[in-house]
Structure 1
């Protein structure tokens, strides 16, 4: 695991036979499942404490998963498990889809060199490990800060499974279901105890991340004059999502609010939270007297959803102007280090006229903006 970034790991997928336990489940003489290896259960729990999910991908009879349901103390550790005779690569694709994360955020632990090779060939972005590599995996997480959201991540994904099940049973439209969920988004200046979560979002989100600003750069800019860090919390009838969004706002030019980073958890994708967060920041900028609103965008293979959102919000690439380069975006004070990578672009729109509104099923409120009194 040397040189491996644990921020990229969102879920570890475990094989069963020969990995989670020693024996082969379908060959046991009774319906009793093999006893899991204590060190593997301890590893799963240690990962969960750091916000890393666990799932199952096993090439075995689907009835093994039914039998596993009779062992809730084991089954409850796993989300979106896949037990079938399909290829492991296909199982991993389904797990990623069910969890709403990129397949590259998965790590497979499997005792079979063949199964690891199959996944590496068909899903080259997925890291594969043998069971004896698990201690090194755990060591990669040592010393890293654990946020309250990280400790709650497994529970919140379980709540998400409940939401998904309720949505499948709901007889109305998708929008009617979202309205029934009583979704509430609260936006405000980041409290001190929310900053670690904002840094985590900058590091771990990819689908809904505008620029890929590093946590260190985000921390530096958030503490600098003329900048403010906003967060968004979300809740619904099923419970709290916690802090699901972060935005760094550069107000060094009062006439042109600039957002070097907009990042949201993939758990809220498709629910209007990203749009509502962005639109409320636009409205806040106009209320503060700004004429234009800018967002730094670094296009990647993963953030197409964010790019579509920015375009739907009326943001377009800024025209080249004297003294403005991809390294010195509008809103960046002359002589300061650039906030983003050289391949980033600045998208801009006027704040005059009608501004887009959040989805009607999402109730949006604002907390006190403490930074206004400090500006």
Structure 2
């Protein structure tokens, strides 16, 4: 998809920039020296403006890998980009690699490239990815105007940098994956959302897809969270590398006697594979049982993206029980289970506390 017509900024987590003819005017590989071409000032300003909005930037360039080596030696430039790809492979393959490295869906990327051929190749092989020409960048920035920026958004680039450090250490670690996760000293804190966390919960509802149970819109989430008998919970996480911030949100409907219903469970893709989604869900189930609740339900709208969430709900013992409830769309189902049976435990490497416990 090209151009900005019908553009939804909430779907874009990372803008991927071409180099030659996009980030700078010249062709880097043809330079007589090791110095890189001078970047366009307007493009750098756009990258910095996007970073302030919580949008990441990366590079996909069909050029000699030596260009990336030169980029690594220019800290002021390299620091703007995460998971850059410079090789002779197709742009579509570079975008797949970037998405994998960042742990986000491919269709959360947007490509800016001066070449109509490269844009067409990506559009053909990755139809969910929007592409723009460099002259479309002002319209891209305009599409983000008025968007609420949460503290997590402002910290997103720094936190992905921390994730690069975390991933690099994991690759060097000689033990098992579980041993490395134990070494990370991960801690998840669950509690009722504070007023300052509500914008982040709305952001998670809008921007998460892999770990999103129902796709409830931010407006509907805000409406339900303010309704009687409803409560919004959040989960935040830290490890020895730093803070992840608020990485999960769950809306709980307690209006039916003896039952907790969850119209939305959403977690950041940054914590995929660490057990945080399971730990958050299991803690909510345990909290419900401690309050005398007998049945736990979750609204699920299956999508191509949320297979991981569907597997988690099945792992938690949830099975289809009823027609869609409050906040669900026509293509949703309601899954439920009894809380009288044994409840699953969070992963052994992840310490889970409630906010009241953490503050005690």
Which residue does the alignment assign to 1:361? 349
1:299-314 → structure 2 map (5 Å cutoff): 299-314=302-317
Which residue does the alignment assign to 1:17? 20
How far off is 1:340 after superposition? Answer: 1.5
Residues 132-173 of structure 1 show CA distances to partners (whole Å, capped at 9, x for unaligned) of 000000000001100000000000000000010000011111
1:293 pairs with 2:296: yes
Secondary structure (helix, strand or coil) at the match of 1:340 reads: coil
Which residue does the alignment assign to 1:42? 45
Secondary structure (helix, strand or coil) at the match of 2:356 reads: coil
User: 2: CA distance between counterparts of 1:290 and 1:176?
Assistant: 36
User: 2: CA distance between counterparts of 1:93 and 1:108?
Assistant: 12
How far off is 1:29 after superposition? Answer: 1.1
User: 1: CA distance between counterparts of 2:7 and 2:49?
Assistant: 18
1:153 pairs with 2:156: yes
1:231 pairs with 2:219: no
1:258 pairs with 2:261: yes
Which residue does the alignment assign to 1:344? 332
Secondary structure (helix, strand or coil) at the match of 2:5 reads: coil
Which residue does the alignment assign to 1:218? 221
Could you tell me which runs of 5 or more consecutive residues in structure 2 were left unpaired when the two chains were aligned: none
- The correspondence for 2:185, drawn from 170, 173, 182, is 182
Q: Across the two proteins, how many residue pairs are aligned to each other?
A: 354
How far off is 1:12 after superposition? Answer: 0.3
User: 2: CA distance between counterparts of 1:3 and 1:169?
Assistant: 44
- Provide the aligned C-alpha RMSD in A: 0.9
1:243 pairs with 2:231: no
How far off is 1:353 after superposition? Answer: 2.5
User: 1: CA distance between counterparts of 2:230 and 2:257?
Assistant: 11
Could you tell me which runs of 5 or more consecutive residues in structure 1 were left unpaired when the two chains were aligned: 330-337, 370-375
How far off is 1:354 after superposition? Answer: 1.2
Which residue does the alignment assign to 1:88? 91
TM-score, normalised via structure 2 length: 0.97
- The correspondence for 2:173, drawn from 170, 176, 192, is 170
- 1:89–1:122 contact (8 Å) kept in structure 2: yes
How far off is 1:70 after superposition? Answer: 1.4
Which residue does the alignment assign to 2:199? 196
How far off is 1:317 after superposition? Answer: 0.4
- 1:254–1:289 contact (8 Å) kept in structure 2: no
User: 1: CA distance between counterparts of 2:356 and 2:96?
Assistant: 42
Which residue does the alignment assign to 1:332? none
TM-score, normalised via structure 1 length: 0.93
Which residue does the alignment assign to 1:335? none
Q: List 4+ stretches of structure 1 deviating above 6 A.
A: none
